[in-house]
Amino acid sequence: MYRILTPTILLITSLTTNISCNVLRDVEQEIREDIFDIYRGVAIKTKEITGNNVTKDQMKLRMFRNRPEPTKLVLNDTDLHLLRNTKGRLVFITHGWTDSSDSDWMLNLKEAFLTKYPDDVVILVDWREPAGKLYYISSINVYDIGNFLAETIEKLLDEHDIKPSQLLLIGHSLGGQTMGFVGKRLQKSGRKLPRIVALDPAGPLFDIRPADKRLNPSDADVVEVIHSDAGTFGFKDSCGTIDFYPNGGNMQPGCYRVDISSLPGVKEPVLCDHRRSYHYFIEAVPHPKDYLVAVECSEWNVLRKTCDLNNTVALGDLTTTKTGEFYFNTNRNFPFNINHLGQPRGFIDAVESVGRGVKNEADEVSKKIKNGVSKLSSGVKNLFH
């Protein structure tokens, strides 16, 4: 749609939007430090990979497919031959901290794939127990889970005629980091994954690690990253071959509308931005073209956006080999796709919304969050349970 527009460079100032955003970002930073930084010292001292006892049976693979007949089973090593004649892809999807494959988002994403791509097989990777530890421990456990999943994939490639081109790995939060470790491990035996999709890959404790100990652009031929809570729960900087920053990457419209002052209701508003990454992706999968279209921007800061309207990619295009940083705006609620006729509409919406009172809302919510932060410090262990 952008191609019909004549200007190739778009500059839009949105200073007012960013003032209100910065209020919330400061508060988010406080929450982040309360939740994660108390463990930071421990995590740095912990020898990575050692000192934990994750076993392979703590990783469960739940397989779903429509053909040759609808099948749903827990996949053991002895069942891998069932995948031998898969015509489509093997889509591995995994979750993050304190999450499991029972989550609606994983089941919805599975359905999105099987409906749009009926020849695909979806395998939900469940590691709920190692993912349910204190954050710094779970953040170390991703090494083991990544290695276990890589071993299974090696068996599929070596013994069951699966081709590397059939593999697609998708993970949210710590799961995004996990899939990076699968890619690293496979490269040790000379194979490279074609594509990883990391949905707001975890930032805390990974942001202080060197690139080879976290998700990085060399983990697969294409590493797609959707940053929806960049710098808070998600990884802030570009860490893929292509990085999407919906709504700028940290402040998702429609989040922060739940009353945070009554814990444990704090869970939803705090994680709302982080979770939007999978909501956007689930909505994108059925529409590989002309939907949730992102535009490449070389600059996106307080004062200006410098975007190349001729360089776009749809979020659901799982064939793209484009590289760079891409941005798109969304609606506040489902459906998140904005009518892109006249592409600048998304940007105009963002500016207009300030006039509609977003600033007031932001101030009110930030006040409530600040009240919540003091409660968080005392109850952090129970926060996500």
Shortest Å, Cβ 233 to Ca ion: 7
**Measured from the CB of residue 262, what is the shortest distance to Ca ion in angstroms?**
20
Q: What's 70's DSSP letter?
A: -
For residue 365, the minimal CB distance to Ca ion (Å) is 12
Q: How far is the CB of 377 from Ca ion (least distance, A)?
A: 19
Q: Which of 103, 139, 173, 238 is catalytic?
A: 173
Whole-angstrom Cα distance, residue 319 to residue 154? 23
Q: Is residue 250 a contact residue for Ca ion (CB under 5 A)?
A: yes
Beta strands at 193-199 and 167-172: parallel, antiparallel or unpaired: parallel
Provide the minimum distance between the beta carbon of 123 and Ca ion in the complex, in angstroms, as a whole number.
30
Instruction: Spell out where the chain has E strands.
Output: 9-11, 60-65, 71-74, 90-94, 121-126, 167-172, 193-199, 220-226, 242-246, 293-300, 305-314, 324-328
Q: Which residues are CB-neighbours of 341 under 8 A, at least 6 positions away? A: 1
Q: Residue 20: which H helix or E strand, with range?
A: helix 15-32
| 232 in contact with Ca ion (CB under 5 A) | yes
* Minimum separation from the CB atom of position 355 to Ca ion (A): 22
Q: Which residue is nearest to Ca ion (CB)?
A: 273
In terms of CB distance, is 273 or 296 closer to Ca ion? 273
Of the candidate spans 78-86, 102-110, 225-233, 262-270, the one that interacts with Ca ion by CB under 5 A turns out to be: 225-233
**Does residue 145 contact residue 133 with C-beta atoms inside 8 Å?**
no
Of 44-52, 167-175, 242-250, 342-350: span binding Ca ion (CB under 5 A) = 242-250
Residue 152 touches Ca ion, criterion: CB under 5 A: no
Reading the block at residue 79, the tokens are 């069942």
Binding test (CB under 5 A) with Ca ion, winner from 273, 283, 296, 317: 273
Is the alpha carbon torsion for 344, 322, 120, 118 positive or negative?
Answer: positive
What six digits make up the tokens of 186? 């496979």
The answer to whether 330 contacts Ca ion (rule: CB under 5 A) is: no
Determine if 238 is a binding residue for Ca ion (CB under 5 A): no
- Stretch binding Ca ion (CB under 5 A), from 142-150, 239-247, 273-281, 330-338: 273-281
**228 is known as an active-site residue:** no
Separation between Cα atoms, residue 157 and residue 164, nearest integer Å: 7
- Is 172 labeled as catalytic in the residue annotation? no
Question: Does 200 interact with Ca ion (rule: CB under 5 A)?
Answer: no
Going from the C-alpha of 293 to that of each of 289, 290, 311, 315, the distances in angstroms are: 8, 6, 10, 6
173 is catalytic: yes
Q: Which residue has the tokens 């697969």?
A: 220
Q: Residue 287 or residue 367: which is nearer to Ca ion going by CB?
A: 367
Q: Which of 34, 120, 219, 229 binds Ca ion (CB under 5 A)?
A: 229
**Which residues are part of the catalytic machinery?**
173, 200, 274
Name the site residues for Ca ion (rule: CB under 5 A): 229, 232, 250, 273
